[in-house]
Chain A
């Protein structure tokens, strides 16, 4: 294995520890399975209760990361590489198949996926969202104006959510989620939401949040955003960790990889993957205080 047995000692308390996390889904495939000839009972009955063809998807293979205070981690990779899965696991929205994520405080996911209550009006959703994030009614009232301003909805804030366009709804979601100042901030493509005017405002708010946050995770297809904002880049491909390190190095390799792929030069692209994997040093988390029981 060529393992460097020298333990690295991490001073202080890290913000996020991702420990041997793995994610698998079992989903129904429309590909027909072999018919069971030996089944008993009438055919229509067997068909009615037959389980669909189940396929296991490896969304994320075993992965460990230790993120310290002050780090901004960019996560890059092609579609389906497990970026969003990893973010969902860190934020606690999905439970990993095995392994666990430990954090110094509740991670807050800023994204366009934070859906709200369709039947309620925008202003009711703002208050409800604030209360759901653990604010008191008074705090929610204090932040109300700045949330509405950030969302740019103006008078439409009093209309029910179901009358909103998808752009308006996602702007409101972003504004609500951005109302707290989280220690651990996760951002999933939030900057690509809305028109240019909103993009400027949200970027400003994002910078404020990042300055205050202990650590930031950012998923974006814009490599420019990643290299602007991040101090560390994690490259995932098909659920595997490919690179974990300096933004410049990782982004350059990833750009080369996608350039070769788009030219149809799959073999050379694969070679880049192999080379990156060969020099990859995976992390193994060792708990210092052995008295503490895990879980």
Chain B
């Protein structure tokens, strides 16, 4: 251990022989597997945090939790006015209202969850500084919260599809919405973990997220059909590799068109979800010692 004490050169130094075997460095990052175990130990913290914040999220609005539904509905109306009525991008799409509603509701879940996950470390800096817990608990909590909030959202989406003409019939295929949304949630978490570390280092990234999400939304075939790019194979294949387009496509197939989604869509979605989660966890864990400091 270094012995240079540069306070005052003539200060006497007393060496102390210390047995350090039982001591651990304060704030040190555990191994990756230990980290996952610790996260599991904090599962009750994660769920309590998520549940408490779902309830309090819209408390200051007069309509309260109704905004969880009103928000995507107004969004849908806006896009319907602009793209359905004014720009007529609906050409050739069967049940355009349903097509639009599924696209917007499902995309909104991802954009909300990714934004919340990305900001979870910055917004909870005080909690991070006050307590010692594995920091990944915060982005995970934010994503659990968004998933809980998405349940009424998805139910409302299905209700709209059933009620608005042409009313779709409920089939056993509707059950496939559950695994699709779960894979989507895993993908959101992975992206959120990556962004959370980036934002904790360089805060400027927050300003870029809304733009990136908007580009992403326009690339996810929400208010047009990807058939219009049939003549441009590069754009077409880019859209088909887009994980969010795949979620939306799977849910549209199940809910609107009563056809079994292609296995390729599931494969692409699952690969993105698990890949993002693996990369996100490792990348976030590597920065564990830096969060909330400085």
Please give the residue numbers on chain A whose beta carbons come within 8 Å of chain B beta carbons, in ascending order.
1-5, 7-10, 12-14, 17, 19-20, 25, 61-62, 64, 66, 89-95, 100-104, 106-107, 109, 113-117, 119-121, 124, 127-129, 131-134, 136-137, 160, 173, 177, 240-241, 277-278, 280-289, 292, 294-295
Within the assembled complex, what's the spacing in Å between the Cα atoms of A73 and B26? 18
Instruction: Assign chain B's interface to a size class.
Output: 35 or more
Given A128-B49, A285-B1, A292-B20, CB of A280 within 8 Å of CB of B130? no
Within the assembled complex, what's the spacing in Å between the Cα atoms of A180 and B12? 39
In whole Å, how far is B242's beta carbon from the nearest beta carbon of chain A?
Answer: 34
Residue in contact with A284 in the complex, picked from B1, B6, B9, B290, CB distance below 8 Å: B1
Which residue of B is nearest A132, CB measured? B131
Q: Are A95 and B11 in contact (CB under 8 A)?
A: no
Which residue of A is nearest B3, CB measured? A284
Residue in contact with B56 in the complex, picked from A119, A241, A281, CB distance below 8 Å: A119
Q: Are B127 and A116 in contact (CB under 8 A)?
A: yes
Determine the main DSSP class of B at the interface with A.
loop
Q: List 6 A-B contacts (CB under 8 A).
A: A10-B17, A62-B7, A103-B23, A116-B127, A128-B45, A131-B48
Instruction: Provide the residues of chain B in CB contact with A282, threshold 8 Å.
Output: 5, 7, 11-14
Q: Are A8 and B16 in contact (CB under 8 A)?
A: yes
Instruction: Provide the residues of chain A in CB contact with B27, threshold 8 Å.
Output: 92, 95, 101
Q: Are B23 and A102 in contact (CB under 8 A)?
A: yes
Q: Are A281 and B7 in contact (CB under 8 A)?
A: no
Q: Are B53 and A119 in contact (CB under 8 A)?
A: yes
Which residue of A is nearest B137, CB measured? A132
B133: Cβ under 8 A from any A Cβ:
yes
Within the assembled complex, what's the spacing in Å between the Cα atoms of A12 and B22? 10
Residue in contact with A10 in the complex, picked from B2, B18, B24, B41, CB distance below 8 Å: B18
Within the assembled complex, what's the spacing in Å between the Cα atoms of A129 and B45? 9
B88: Cβ under 8 A from any A Cβ:
no
Q: Are A1 and B12 in contact (CB under 8 A)?
A: yes
Chain B residues 112 to 147 lying within 8 A of chain A, measured CB to CB, are 124, 126-127, 129-133
Instruction: Provide the residues of chain A in CB contact with B19, threshold 8 Å.
Output: 10, 12-14, 288-289
Q: Are A131 and B45 in contact (CB under 8 A)?
A: yes
Which residue of B is nearest A62, CB measured? B5
Residue in contact with A120 in the complex, picked from B9, B44, B52, CB distance below 8 Å: B52
B293: Cβ under 8 A from any A Cβ:
yes
Given A92-B26, A92-B132, A113-B130, CB of A241 within 8 Å of CB of B15? no
In whole Å, how far is A292's beta carbon from the nearest beta carbon of chain B?
Answer: 6
Q: Are A62 and B48 in contact (CB under 8 A)?
A: no
In whole Å, how far is B236's beta carbon from the nearest beta carbon of chain A?
Answer: 40
Instruction: Provide the residues of chain B in CB contact with A295, threshold 8 Å.
Output: 25, 28
B42: Cβ under 8 A from any A Cβ:
yes
In whole Å, how far is B58's beta carbon from the nearest beta carbon of chain A?
Answer: 10
Which residue of A is nearest B125, CB measured? A115
Within the assembled complex, what's the spacing in Å between the Cα atoms of A133 and B293? 18
In whole Å, how far is A194's beta carbon from the nearest beta carbon of chain B?
Answer: 18
Q: Are A115 and B15 in contact (CB under 8 A)?
A: no
Instruction: Provide the residues of chain B in CB contact with A117, threshold 8 Å.
Output: 53, 124, 127
Residue in contact with B2 in the complex, picked from A14, A17, A20, CB distance below 8 Å: A20
In whole Å, how far is B38's beta carbon from the nearest beta carbon of chain A?
Answer: 9
